[in-house]
Structure 1
Amino acid sequence: MKILTTASVAALTLAFATEAMAVEWNVSLWGTRRAFTEHVEKLAELVAERSGGEFTLSINYGGLSNERENLDGISIGAFEMAQFCAGYHNDKNRAITVLELPFLGVQNLEQEVAVARAVYAHPAVAAEMAQWNARMLMTSPMPQYNLVGTGEPRVTVDSMNGMRVRATGGIGDVFASVGAVPTSVTSSEAYNAMESGVVDSVAFAQHAHLSFRTIDIADWWTENLNPGTVNCPVVVNIDAYDALSDEHRAILDAAVDDSIAYYLENYGKLLEGWEATLTEKGVAKVTVDAAEIAKLAANAQPIHDAWIAEATANGLPGQELYDLTVQSVAANAPK
């Protein structure tokens, strides 16, 4: 019979304690690893490194849920962290859809981060997310969307009449205001929709045109339409977050800024190579005349006003959220 010494008992106790302290979170993303997910990848790297491997994030691309159901998965604790886009289910996250209004005037990714953070910090956002047992962790900043399309370029407001476009949220609304027909197929479905002719054009940021291959079958890309962007937060399950040790929670929170900084640096490199990508793919870069953009932008304010009215009718401080967004855009404008 093997006799356990005091030292061996202590070693076993330490081993069990260490195992008990180890925490692994499941993270639900979609598609493939790309510029849009690099902050989550960096977060996982930093959390593991700074916790000495005691706190890890297991990142899954579509293996846990699809993008439209990530918030539902968070609500029931199916996984601890997830990314989603507000435009996929406006009724579940009405407050943050203010960030998807068209022509807000955001000029770069740093400004996009600052504005999103200001809105995420509003009590109404926290309360609405809490209904899904979700807590905002960080945003996924994206450049202003632009169109790729097939056939003749849609560079005038008149040519957009009847255009079938993959566009969600406020971007879809502003295209609809000039007679276009928006559809909100997911990013993963956009290529097939474009290839089969279900849509004539797709509104994405650059990374998504690359990742979801819409650029591969496009004839043209608008370099300066810039009607707006979508907002895609990363959230955590509140119960899981609260269950973290103080040390692990502090590590997670502190890693957010570093992860966002890495994301911005990485996305900047993608943008630097965009011209070469267009040339390589044989996609024509088209410029929309300022007068045509002004015509489209003129329809933005009624969409903004309608958002305020609808948000207020749904019990949200619509005017307050809108004013916060506009003020944050102005306060964080590039110098």
Structure 2
Amino acid sequence: MNFLKKTALTAAFSLAATSGFAETTLIHGEAGPNRGARAAALQWYADQVAERSAGDLKINIQWGGALFKSKAAMQAIGDGVADMGSVIAVYYPKDMAAYGIADLPVNNPDAWVGMRATDELMRSSAAIQNNLADRDLRYIGTWTTSQVNIGCKDTAIRSVADIAGKKVRGVGAYGKVMGEMGANLVSMSIYDAYQGLDTGLIDCSQGYSYAVSALKQAEVMTSYTMLDWGQVGGVGMFMNLDAYEGLSEEQRAVIDQTGMDMADEFGRLITKANADAIVSMKEQGVEVIELPAEERAKLVASGAKFLDQWVETATSDGLDGAALLEEYKGLIAKYTAERDANGYPWAKASN
């Protein structure tokens, strides 16, 4: 943050303290609209911060890119355009390399497990925190797009061999793996996939179950294959470091703990949304296919090179990429075991 912005921020916090104001309002920039599961989780976060701080902290969410677009979020938050905001790691492959670990095609399709593993890594690693501090950022909490699957029209993916020759809209490294397996990758937004499938411009589109429902893509799909592979999880909340450090210790504790708890709330929302979407697809006549375990193993193996590439990128940014990746895999194993032993936290809360 530049000197003038730092001075203005310090003055604002000082004025609030000396004027007896009992409330601090933080501005959050969100490029997306106020609808959907992620928007609901963000609003939950804001409501919980106000409740847990007894009104001492409030978050004013600026929706729909009113302050900045997705591709400008990292710089805008670091520069103090907003106190905090939503950041998508894929737009910053080097600057947000540490957070990009959540986008890798590791062997984990579970949204809650992925968020918990990512959240603990981002909070516990001093190296990651220092890396973010160099960009005037503080990690607050994480979301995920959830597991990557693939829907097709007038064809189906029942095995890895079925990928060859298909015109596919891909997602990050997941799309690149399919490209190496013979798919013809088509650059296309998920929002254009409906028309792409309908017109035959693409045969298949990688995406997420809840998004298929939200975008009504089941209307133009005949099959939907559950890859049971991985997810895109580098989507989360970050705060301007100076704004964060300008809060009281009690306020920072509320910000951090609520961010940690958000993984449980969003896990609940996205798990239900995905399950409901699968039911809806079946009701509309879409064939839902479970990819056999031996075929899934081929996808996991083919994605290994992209893990190696991430290690190189992270290492070039001063991080120990190999060590972080092993730690992340260990955290995935930890939360997978916790889920298997105790179930999801929201299921326990409802019993």
Q: Which residue of 2 aligns with 1:289?
A: 292
Q: Secondary structure at the match of 1:106?
A: coil
Q: Does 1:112 align with 2:114?
A: yes
Instruction: Note if contact 1:150-1:200 (Cα within 8 Å) is conserved in structure 2.
Output: yes
Q: Counterpart in 1 of 2:271?
A: 268
Partners of 2:216 and 2:243 in 1: CA distance: 36
CA contact (8 A) 2:141 2:262 kept: no
Q: Partner of 2:6 in structure 1?
A: none
In 2, distance between residues paired with 1:127 and 1:168?
A: 29
Change (3 A) 1:191 1:84: farther
2:90 aligns with one of 82, 87, 90 = 87
Q: After superposing the two structures, state which structure 1 stretch, 121-130 or 183-192, moved more.
A: 183-192
Which one is further off, 200-209 or 318-327?
A: 200-209
Q: Secondary structure at the match of 1:270?
A: helix
TM-score by length of 2: 0.79
Identity of aligned residues (%): 24
Instruction: Note closer, same or farther for the CA distance 1:196–1:129 as it changes in structure 2 (3 Å cut).
Output: farther
What is the DSSP-based 3-state SS (H/G/I as helix, E as strand, rest coil) of the residue aligned with 2:228? coil
Q: What is the distance in 2 between the residues matched to 1:272 and 1:216?
A: 18
Deviation at 1:54, TM superposition (A): 4.0
Displacement of 1:251 in angstroms is 2.3
Amino acid at match of 2:42: V
Amino acid at match of 1:58: N
- Mapped partners of 1:257, 1:312: distance in 2: 27
Aligned residues: 319
CA distance in 1, matches of 2:321, 2:83: 30
CA displacement, residues 27-86 of structure 1 (integer Å, 9 cap, x when unaligned): 314144212333211111112223344422222133333222222221222222222322
Q: Distance in 2 between matches of 1:53 and 1:210?
A: 37
Counterpart of 1:73 (choices 71, 76, 81) is 76
Question: Could you say if the C-alpha distance between residues 130 and 184 of structure 1 is closer, same or farther in structure 2, counting changes exceeding 3 Å?
Answer: farther
Indicate whether 1:326 and 2:344 are aligned. no
Match of 2:57 in 1: 55
Measure how far apart 1:326 and its partner are.
1.9
Cα 1:246–1:303, aligned 2, differ >3 Å: closer, same or farther?
closer
Q: 1:198 to 1:247 in 2, by over 3 A?
A: farther
Query: Which residue number in structure 1 is paired with residue 304 of structure 2?
Result: 301
Are positions 1:30 and 2:35 aligned together?
A: no
Mapped partners of 1:298, 1:260: distance in 2: 28
- 1:3 is aligned to none
Which sections of structure 2, spanning at least 5 residues, go unmatched? 1-15, 341-351
Q: Which residue of 2 aligns with 1:278?
A: 281
Which amino acid is the alignment partner of residue 331 of structure 2? S
What is the TM-score of this pair, normalised by structure 1? 0.82
Worse-matched range after superposition: 191-200 or 316-325: 191-200
Question: Residue in 2 aligned with 1:240?
Answer: 243
The 2-side partners of 1:76 and 1:67 are apart by 15
Aligned mates of 1:28, 1:185 — CA distance in 2? 23
Distance in 1 (CA, whole Å) between partners of 2:74 and 2:195 is 25
User: What one-letter code is carried by the residue in structure 1 that aligns with 2:308?
Assistant: D
Of 142, 147, 150, the residue aligned with 1:147 is: 150
Gaps of at least 5 residues in structure 1 are: 1-13
Deviations 1:232-280 (A, max 9, x none): 1211111221222334323222322443322222233324423321134
- Residue from 220, 223, 231 that aligns with 1:229: 231
CA RMSD, 1 decimal? 2.9
**Which amino acid in 1 is paired with 2:28?**
N
Change in Cα spacing, 1:193 to 1:19, as seen in structure 2 (3 Å) is: farther
In structure 2, do the counterparts of structure 1 residues 279 and 24 end up closer, same or farther at CA, with 3 Å as the change threshold? same
